[in-house]
Amino acid sequence: QKEVEQNSGPLSVPEGAIASLNCTYSDRGSQSFFWYRQYSGKSPELIMSIYSNGDKEDGRFTAQLNKASQYVSLLIRDSQPSDSATYLCAVCPSTSLVFGQGTRLTINP
C-alpha cells in the first residue's frame, strides 16, 4: 500500500467551476499535510499547509483535513486556466515529507 495516494488524473474542470483534489494517507500518526502545485518542467510550489481537522481557506484555495478518515483534500474555487498543473499532496509522518504522485488538473476555457 502506497503511503500517500492520489488519483493521477487527468482531472478536467471547466473554467469558473470548483476543482476538487483528493489524497489519502496510510500513517495514522501523520501531523502535517501540504499541497504543492507543480507546473510542467518546474519545481513544486507550496500553496497550502494544514495541521488540524477541518477547513483552512486561503483565497480561492481551501484545504480540508479529516484525520479519522486519513483524508486530505484541496478545493480550488473559480478555477482559472492558470490553475492547470499537477497538484502534489505531501504528508509528514515523522521527520520528512512523503509525496503522492500528484493529480494532473486541466482547466478548460
Partner 1 sequence: DAMVIQNPRYQVTQFGKPVTLSCSQTLNHNVMYWYQQKSSQAPKLLFHYYDKDFNNEADTPDNFQSRRPNTSFCFLDIRSPGLGDAAMYLCATSLRLGVYNEQFFGPGTRLTVL
List contacts with partner 1 (CB under 8 A): 4, 8, 31-32, 34, 36, 41-46, 49, 51, 88, 90, 92, 94-97, 99-102
Strands 32-38 and 45-50: antiparallel
**Partners of 49 in beta bridges:** 34
How near is the Cβ of 78 to partner 1 at its closest, in Å? 25
Q: Which is nearer to partner 1, 71 or 93 (CB)?
A: 93
How near is the Cβ of 17 to partner 1 at its closest, in Å? 25
Measure the CA–CA gap between 104 and 85, rounded to whole angstroms.
6
**Partners of 75 in beta bridges:** 20, 62
Decide: 50 and 56 in contact? Cβ < 8 Å.
Answer: yes
How near is the Cβ of 41 to partner 1 at its closest, in Å? 8
Q: Which is nearer to partner 1, 102 or 105 (CB)?
A: 102
